[in-house]
Amino acid sequence: MAKYILEEVIKMNKTLTCEKCGQVEFGLVDGYCFGDRLLEDVMFEVRLDLKGKFKVKISPDSKDYFEELNTKKWLKTALDYVKEDDLLICPKCQDHRIPINQPKGFKPLPIKTIRFDDLMRELK
Ligand SMILES: [Zn+2]
């Protein structure tokens, strides 16, 4: 039981959550933030891998545009930017509402586990 709860907490901390829409598959970063006009309106998708590390990829809509650019270089620049960023754009509501890089990082929150009979005693 307790193990199950802990696993859930870890899992939750590795997903991205919009303050308005709830859990989202990925967050977005506008290339303009680090590439200026060259990357204006180019969106990068940001995901978390199983270890809680950021993964950045170019949004499918912008792939054609990127054929002429140094994709590898810009993906690295995007990743460096994301590591310092605090809010990603939500793909659903298009608002900056996905908090990342909180001071505590993505470590699981300490949660108090309690035995069922202790809980019943406390409720009495
Ligand atoms: Zn949203």
In tens, the pLDDT along 94-116 reads 999 999 876 554 555 556 677 77
Which pLDDT does position 50 carry in this prediction? 78
Contact 88, 46 (CB under 8 A): yes
Confidence of residue 6 (pLDDT cuts 50, 70, 90): low
Give me ligand 1 centre to Cα 24, in Å: 8
Contact of 80 with 93, CB cutoff 8 Å: no
Distance 117 CA to ligand 1 centre (A): 40
CA of 79 to the centre of ligand 1 (A): 21
For 49-89, write each residue's pLDDT tens digit.
877 789 999 999 888 888 888 999 999 999 999 999 999 99
Q: What does the alpha-carbon distance between residue 54 and residue 51 come to, in Å, rounded to a whole number? A: 9
- How far is the centre of ligand 1, averaged over its atoms, from the C-alpha of 103 (Å)? 22
Per-residue model confidence as pLDDT tens digits over 9-55: 545 556 899 999 999 999 999 999 999 999 998 999 999 887 778 99
Q: Following CA atoms 13, 49, 69, 88 in sequence, which dihedral angle do they give, to the nearest 10 degrees?
A: -10
Q: Two tokens at 86?
A: 């605090």
Q: How far is the CA of 15 from the centre of ligand 1 (A)?
A: 14
In this prediction, residue 57 carries a pLDDT of 94
Here the tokens at position 118 are: 């202790």
Model confidence, pTM: 0.70
Give distance in angstroms: CA of 95 to centre of ligand 1.
6
Ligand 1 centroid–CA 67 distance in Å is 30
pLDDT of residue 105: 47
Q: Where are the domains of the chain?
A: 15-106
| Beta carbons of 15 and 27 less than 8 angstroms apart | no
So what's the pLDDT on residue 14? Answer: 67
Q: What is the pLDDT of residue 11?
A: 54
Which residues neighbour 43 within 8 Å (Cβ) at sequence distance 6 or greater?
28, 29, 30, 31, 58, 59, 61, 62, 89
d(CA 87, CA 100): 6
Give the separation between CA 4 and CA 2, rounded to whole angstroms.
Answer: 5
Token look-up 């505590």 returns 104
| Cα of 120 from ligand 1 centre, angstroms | 39
